[in-house]
Structure 1
């Protein structure tokens, strides 16, 4: 059975790898754009024209999710507690305030626009924490149905894609060479891990590393969000019992390697190899994100959904800019 599953993954995975190779090659010719940007844009064009067939879906989904998760784990080889400390107490306060503002705004805007409480909670968690992963953890806790879950996942992915392609350039225009401020903007707002990595990759590798620190802090707080939302929805305790601790395995893997890297002197070749492999996983995953971006699904949701998403995204962006200024990050 596993062998059959692997065969189904191959077409989409090989397609994502091919797009990544082309992007890496093109980046040598046009270094100003970069391999990450080329991988995403080429993936979007190909995924909405020549490669829309369902045969590619399993493989591109694997590349988008698993390869990116592996990339995050390998990122631990380049990060130590000394690196994390550079985010500082201000960085942690920034994340807590950002999450609080986004959750409050998403719930209130959703209620004002006539969306159900469950849809508002999923929208709040998806934007405040980690996109589809957060929605997947929150949905069973509040007994949301599959249709509501699918609609919000589509909306959050659309919003995240728009922000992923615009916020890096906004951050560059406002903050210039300020590494921490740009990282806070991207790591504190973008919805999924993939979008944080993709958006930060449009700038440089250092922004990827520091943006992920802000992002991982948000993910670690997912447990608190799920428990709080369960209480707000007044569900039975057993509704989330089977899920266990909703912290993604790759976050735990990243932290474990980070601890090892902080207290042990690892061979330089190991760090270099991890960085090389992580880079290829990342580019392949970004190509897959582009290949899986189906504009037809987004258009089906209608103007009310789009207005909801844009409203929450605007609050996120404005709140991040204000908090970065107020906290002097």
Structure 2
């Protein structure tokens, strides 16, 4: 009960931002997701929030987002997933491998340590903060390395959230499949994918989420691969072996998707799931915005800026080339 009470202030703050964003979305032709993360960014970087908000903010950013993705399964059918097919999986695996290779190689060229380069590789290739959190103990990264990687990856993803829909509108005229592939195979976190897809339309948001969730499935392989590479690189057998848990919301998403596809979910349940998922989504996006530290990024210097911008540029170029070849 104590943990629940501690989470209330932060969740309420995120809820207020989310409801404000939802109201603004009715007044202006911009989605609630956009308003939510922008307001979160502004509040988080201009107001010194008390520590008692942090527990609820973390809860909203992680748990509510997970529930949102889980409930999203009640609105997506297997027929939609089948459209991704082997081409979609091929695009995702190829993109992930190339991003990991480039990020580690360029990080070493710029003089960054192996741990930091590996964290940046997993965070950008798979699922942002979650991938970094899972990879850090497997390679014995420090808290400083982990914190810097999380901050950079979140900042990069925040910028890409707004850039990718613009690129897609120019290259693909916001056509659903290529736009979803660009967003879902490039952005770092699930929340960023949901937010960016929402800037286009709900269909793109749903398909982009599918691309992203397939990347999440590969998290376990990426973590163990990087751990193995690190062991071989330093010829040390003492690196901690960690147990990576498969994300529950991916399993739940699939189960609800199957139920929905088979017609086992009544229409009222699907409608309730859709609305609840949307509310939890914009609450989580407010929490993500509150956590982005703009000052920390600015203070990190030219090398980190070059590293981050190079990874972003590489991801976009590779995604565009793969979409052109595969689709």
Task: Place the TM-score, normalised by the shorter chain, in its bin.
Answer: over 0.9
Shift of 1:197: 0.9
Give per-residue Cα distances to partners, 1:216-264, cap 9 Å, x unaligned.
Answer: 11110111111211110115387224x2x44222112112222333334
Name 2:89's counterpart in structure 1. 92
C-alpha RMSD over aligned residues: 1.6
Q: Pairwise mapping of residues 163-202 of structure 1 onto structure 2 (< 5 A)?
A: 163-202=160-199
Question: How far apart are the structure 2 equivalents of 1:307 and 1:205?
Answer: 34
Name 2:8's counterpart in structure 1. 10
Name 1:248's counterpart in structure 2. 247
Name 1:137's counterpart in structure 2. 134
Question: How far apart are the structure 2 equivalents of 1:118 and 1:290?
Answer: 26
Shift of 1:54: 2.4
Residue 24 (structure 2) aligned to one of 23, 26, 45: 26
Name 1:304's counterpart in structure 2. 303
Bigger drift between 313-322 and 254-263 goes to 254-263
Q: Look up the SS of the partner of 1:169 in the other structure.
A: helix
Residue 205 (structure 2) aligned to one of 204, 208, 219: 208
Question: How far apart are the structure 2 equivalents of 1:238 and 1:253?
Answer: 32
Bigger drift between 144-153 and 51-60 goes to 51-60
The alignment's TM-score, normalised by the length of structure 2, stands at 0.94
Contact 1:103 1:124 in 2 (8 A): yes
Name 2:149's counterpart in structure 1. 152
Name 1:239's counterpart in structure 2. 240
Name 1:259's counterpart in structure 2. 258
Give per-residue Cα distances to partners, 1:10-49, cap 9 Å, x unaligned.
Answer: 111111111111111111111x112111111122222222
Name 2:326's counterpart in structure 1. 327
Residue 54 (structure 2) aligned to one of 47, 54, 57: 57
Q: Look up the SS of the partner of 2:140 in the other structure.
A: coil
Question: How far apart are the structure 1 equivalents of 2:288 and 2:326?
Answer: 33
Q: Look up the SS of the partner of 1:266 in the other structure.
A: coil
Contact 2:91 2:323 in 1 (8 A): yes
Contact 1:23 1:38 in 2 (8 A): yes
Question: How far apart are the structure 1 equivalents of 2:30 and 2:199?
Answer: 8
Pair 23,120 (structure 1): closer, same or farther in 2 beyond 3 Å: same
The gaps in structure 1 that reach 5 residues or longer are: none
Q: Look up the SS of the partner of 1:52 in the other structure.
A: coil
Name 2:219's counterpart in structure 1. 222
Question: How far apart are the structure 2 equivalents of 1:120 and 1:313?
Answer: 14
Residue 41 (structure 2) aligned to one of 36, 44, 66: 44
Q: Look up the SS of the partner of 1:233 in the other structure.
A: helix
Give per-residue Cα distances to partners, 1:58-111, cap 9 Å, x unaligned.
Answer: 212211111111000001101222111011211111001100110111011001
Contact 1:57 1:292 in 2 (8 A): no
Pair 301,247 (structure 1): closer, same or farther in 2 beyond 3 Å: farther
Shift of 1:204: 1.4
